[in-house]
Amino acid sequence: MYFVAGTDTDSGKTIVSSALLHLAQEQGIQTLGVKPIASGCQDTPAGLRNSDALSLMAKSSIKLEYDEVNPFSFEPAIAPHIAAKEQGVPLSPEALQQTIDLCLYQDAELCIIEGAGGWRLPLGSGAFLSDVVKAWQLPVILVVGVKLGCLNHAVLTQEAILADGLKIAGWVANQVDSNMSCYQENIESLNELMQGPCLGEIPYLASATAEVAANYLSLSFMKS
């Protein structure tokens, strides 16, 4: 079981998570992707649905009900703890741990839990989503959204993960700025600064799909 974190919102957590699940499925590995918290959901006849969660479900060989994949869903595209407060929904590490049944994940050879926002996603009252990751002692896969400022974001996020006593299973460089200056020099700097293996370098993809992104990734973290 792995937690996928990003250096920021829109760093590429979902495309990387979906691509890793796709790559594993191609190798006959039982997969499951979940997104415990999501905002910016669409109201449908079946209830609120989040595109990130649906993408993970599409690449999961183990099929769960939507509410088991995304138990905390909010329609406004705002910080989840603000949306939860507006709707009177308890959102805390304790609420997540009581709601999420880890037993549902046991049959997965690769289970990916995708975060929301960055590492210190607030849950309110001074708590963070990272508190849950820490309680479960999950190894972390860090997605670095490669753009101007990514070196600072990557190093600070790495420091926070390590300070929480967690292992970085690997990191992925995902180019989100097609016109970034000195791209290769930044990649070289990331290789010097980051701990854990680089699991891949995804170039800027105008139409990113899990199938295409999977060509640039490795499952080497599963063998460590």
Non-local (6+) Cβ contacts of 160 within 8 A are: 119, 120, 130
35 given a catalytic annotation: yes
Strand 122-124 with 110-114, pairing? unpaired
- Pure H helices in the chain: 13-26, 51-58, 66-69, 80-87, 93-99, 129-136, 150-163, 183-193, 210-213
Instruction: Collapse the DSSP code of 92 into the 3-class scheme (helix H, G, I; strand E, B; otherwise coil) and give the result.
Output: coil
**CA angle in degrees (0–180, nearest 5) for 164-21-155:** 30
Residues 105 and 73 sit within 8 Å (Cβ to Cβ): no
Two structure tokens written together for 196 = 């854990």
**């869903």: which residue's tokens?**
73
Query: What one-letter code names the amino acid at 44?
Result: T
Name the catalytic one among 13, 35, 59, 147: 35
3-state secondary structure 38-90: EECCEEECCEEECHHHHHHHHCCCCCCCHHHHCCEEECCCCCHHHHHHHHCCC
Annotated catalytic residues are 35
